[in-house]
Chain A
Amino acid sequence: DQQVKQNSPSLSVQEGRISILNCDYTNSMFDYFLWYKKYPAEGPTFLISISSIKDKNEDGRFTVFLNKSAKHLSLHIVPSQPGDSAVYFCAASGGNTPLVFGKGTRLSVIA
């Protein structure tokens, strides 16, 4: 049973537009959420996180929104750049547990 779901395996966005990557979770004990970015032939690198006490966290072009009632979070990238093309993983944890990852969404930013 997947506790963290990224239902869109891929997404294409034009350069300069907004990219919105979505993530849903089922475990109400999750209280910390992270987004990772992965380029080919490299391991994932941390991008941005959010604690459940917040509903928004912003870092430059990247903003993560958390809707606890819907058990949904999203990553917004604006403006999107070709270098943002990568696979994005959503991850969640609750209490003293390992991170649980989604299956990833492949973002392609088209120039």
Chain B
Amino acid sequence: GAVVSQHPSWVICKSGTSVKIECRSLDFQATTMFWYRQFPKQSLMLMATSNEGSKATYEQGVEKDKFLINHASLTLSTLTVTSAHPEDSSFYICSADGRGLAGVTDTQYFGPGTRLTVL
């Protein structure tokens, strides 16, 4: 089945540094990927929709200059948390739109998540 990977799975960084998280669709092409932030015991918050070859669409309240998203190819989207602060510590999860995979039209595949800890 379709697999989405994220790298790294866990990252610890100092306050003020930038962190890049990769989301890859391993066996299919994904024109659209989504980035979410997860808080403990809470549901996912959609941060942005990443479309291959175009600018990401950010949800209201999400700073696009702080959370840089690049969807450079049909199998890779990256989220860069710039000038990270302790309040940015969270799980970040990506998902890839299943359109384009033979026999699949509108489902979605989730990555395993990246745990970001900002000291």
A15 to chain B, nearest CB (A): 21
Q: CB-CB contacts of A58-91 with B at 8 A, as 1s and 0s?
A: 0000000000000000000000000000010100
B91 near A98 with CB under 8 A, answer yes
With a CB–CB cut-off of 8 A, which chain A residues contact B93?
Answer: 98-99
Residue of B nearest to A86 (CB): B106
User: Assuming the A-B contacts A44-B95, A98-B113, are A104 and B107 also in contact, with contact meaning beta carbons closer than 8 angstroms in the complex?
Assistant: yes
In this complex, how many residues of chain B approach chain A with their Cβ under 8 Å: the count is 24
Interface residues on chain A, number (Cβ under 8 Å): 24
B40, B43, B106: the one contacting A49 at CB < 8 Å is B43
> What residue in chain B is nearest A51 (Cβ atoms)?
B41
| Residue contact B106 to A40, C-beta cutoff 8 Å | yes
A10 and B23 alpha carbons, distance in the complex (Å): 27
Does B105 reach chain A (CB closer than 8 Å)?
A: yes
B38 close to A98 (CB less than 8 A): yes
Task: Tell whether A43 pairs with B43 under 8 Å between CB atoms, given A98-B112, A101-B110.
Answer: no
Closest residue of chain B to A95 (Cβ to Cβ) is B40
Q: Are B110 and A34 in contact (CB under 8 A)?
A: no
Asked if B95 and A87 sit within 8 Å, CB to CB, the answer is: no
Query: Which chain A residues lie closer than 8 Å to B1 at the CB level?
Result: 103
Distance in Å: Cβ of B31 to nearest Cβ of chain A: 11
Contact of A34 among B43, B95, B107, B113 (CB under 8 A): B43
Nearest CB in chain B: distance from A34 CB, A? 6
Nearest residue, chain B, Cβ from A101? B110
- Judged by a CB distance under 8 angstroms, whether B49 is at the interface is yes
Of the candidates B41, B108, B114, the one whose C-beta lies within 8 Å of that of A104 is B108
Contact B41–A44 (Cβ < 8 Å)? no
A89 to B95, CA, bound (A): 12
Closest A-B pairs by Cβ, 7 of them: A98-B113, A40-B106, A46-B43, A101-B110, A43-B34, A98-B91, A43-B46
Beyond the given A40-B106, A43-B36, A46-B44, please list 15 additional residue pairs across the A-B interface where CB-CB is below 8 A. A32-B41, A36-B44, A38-B107, A41-B32, A41-B106, A44-B95, A46-B43, A49-B43, A51-B41, A89-B108, A97-B113, A99-B91, A101-B110, A103-B107, A104-B108
